[in-house]
Structure formats: structure tokens, C-alpha cells
């Protein structure tokens, strides 16, 4: 059996270990299930009548942004889990075992996709309740969900690297919010990017979170008829721009994370 196959088996074992932890810490699963419902209901009913979307419904406009924000926040589970394992000395035990150095990180990031699948499922059901609908067919919708999960998986590698360099879970929670809040709020997630002023608008238009949000809305058919075409390349080619970011993030942060894992103390 070649080394790649061994690495895949090692990663599967680690992923299974992380999934089993869901049973032992049900509070985490509870947060995963309740948080998406809270966000959808909060924004749909608090801001639903305050923000006008010409020719369309704010609630349909909203759901793509909520999807993007929630899966990005879901990536923090990767960083928090690794920081917790580092603090408890479990990472040292893993490194003492005859296993692939990448397996712990691949298994961790892969298992956290489950959290995001559950979040998207709950959000989709809640979205249907508040008036969101898919208008472009199941194939496009499935691709939209897959793109969101792929972006979340890529971003989990960023959080994996952060989780390996911070001293505790508390620090990563604070550090992740410093990164995630600007990315998810200075974007087209909750308001059209053209409504933002000056520099903020430019940042939002090139923000990868805006691209994955735009791509999701396009694929779900949530762009109202007659909406003007975006004027910047990333939003005109939102699917391609998102895929480019997914590849770039993994290409940079996967090797950085594995290298940091080898040297972590």
C-alpha cells in the first residue's frame, strides 16, 4: 500500500474521531443547529422590511449571504479544535504515532465539513419558511451548495493554521472574529455592494465572500429580473473567482499548516 493510501486511511481515522466527539459534546452540535436558525430569522424579520431590493425580495437576497457567512464562521471549528488539542497535548501524541503528518489536519478539516452540511440544511429549511425559494433547478442549486462547502473547506485551512499558532482556544475565538467579521460584513452578504461608500465598496466588490455570495444567488436564481449586471470582474464571474480563491487558499495554507504542525510545541 503506497504512502498516499496510508495518508488517506490515517486522515479517515482522524475525521472519524472528530465526528465521534460530536456525540460527546452535544452542546457544539446544538450551537451548529440553533445559530443558523437565529441568523435567518433575525435578519429576515428585523431587516426584511427595512432594506429594499428593486424587483425582488430581501429575504431571497438575504439567504445567499447568510449561507456564505455561516459556512465561513463554521471554519472556526477547525481552528478551535486544533488549538484545544494542542493545549491538551493530544497533538504531541499524534506526532508520536507512525502516521502521516498531514493526516491530523486533513481529517480535521474534512470532518468539519459535516458541521457546515448540517448548518446549510437547517438554514435552507428555515429559509423556505421565511419565503426563500430556489428558482434555477436542482442541478444549479446542488452546485451552489457544493461551492459554498468547498469555500468553507478552503477557509478551514486558514483557521487550521491560526489554530496551530495561537496559545489557546480563547485566543483563536478572538482572532477569528477579527478576520471573519470584516470579510463577512464588508461584503454583499446583507446589503448590495453598490450601497457601500468609497473604499468599502471596492473592498466588498473584490472580497471573496462577496463572490461566493453572488455565485450562490446566481445559482439559486435569487437575482431579481432587471437587476443591473455587476460592473466589476469578480462579481461578473463570481463562480470562477470563487474557485480561484478556493485553489489559492488551499495551495497557500495547506502547506503552511502542515509545516507548522511539524514544528508546533
* pLDDT tens for each residue of 156-166: 999 888 888 87
pLDDT of residue 254: 92
pTM: 0.89
Look at residue 253 in the predicted model and tell me its pLDDT.
95
pLDDT of residue 25: 66
Which residue ranges in the chain fall short of pLDDT 50? 1
CA 84 to each of CA 17, 144, 237: distance values in angstroms, whole numbers, following the listed order: 14, 32, 39
State the pLDDT at residue 202: 94
* pLDDT at res. 28: 66
pLDDT at position 141 is 94
Amino acid at each position: 500500500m503506497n504512502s498516499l493510501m496510508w495518508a488517506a486511511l490515517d486522515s479517515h481515522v482522524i475525521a472519524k474521531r472528530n465526528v465521534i466527539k460530536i456525540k460527546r459534546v452535544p452542546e457544539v452540535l446544538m450551537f451548529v443547529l440553533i445559530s443558523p436558525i437565529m441568523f435567518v430569522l433575525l435578519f429576515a424579520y428585523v431587516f426584511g422590511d427595512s432594506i429594499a431590493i428593486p424587483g425582488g425580495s430581501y429575504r431571497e437576497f438575504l439567504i445567499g449571504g447568510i449561507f456564505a457567512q455561516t459556512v465561513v464562521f463554521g471554519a472556526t471549528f477547525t481552528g478551535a479544535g486544533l488549538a484545544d488539542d494542542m493545549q491538551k497535548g493530544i497533538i504531541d501524541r499524534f506526532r508520536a504515532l507512525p502516521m502521516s503528518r498531514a493526516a491530523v489536519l486533513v481529517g480535521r478539516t474534512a470532518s468539519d465539513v459535516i458541521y457546515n452540511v448540517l448548518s446549510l440544511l437547517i438554514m435552507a429549511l428555515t429559509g423556505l419558511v421565511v419565503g426563500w425559494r430556489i428558482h434555477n433547478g436542482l442541478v444549479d442549486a446542488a452546485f451552489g451548495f457544493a461551492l459554498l462547502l468547498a469555500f468553507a473547506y478552503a477557509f478551514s485551512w486558514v483557521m487550521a493554521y491560526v489554530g496551530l499558532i495561537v496559545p489557546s482556544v480563547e485566543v483563536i475565538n478572538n482572532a477569528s472574529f477579527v478576520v471573519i467579521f470584516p470579510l463577512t460584513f464588508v461584503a454583499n452578504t446583507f446589503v448590495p455592494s453598490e450601497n457601500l461608500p468609497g473604499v468599502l465598496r471596492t473592498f466588498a466588490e473584490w472580497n471573496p465572500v462577496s463572490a461566493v455570495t453572488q455565485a450562490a444567488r446566481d445559482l439559486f436564481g435569487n437575482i431579481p429580473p432587471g437587476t443591473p449586471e455587476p460592473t466589476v470582474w469578480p462579481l461578473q464571474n463570481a463562480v470562477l473567482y470563487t474557485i480561484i480563491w478556493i485553489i489559492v487558499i488551499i495551495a497557500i495554507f495547506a502547506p503552511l499548516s502542515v509545516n507548522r504542525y511539524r514544528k508546533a510545541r
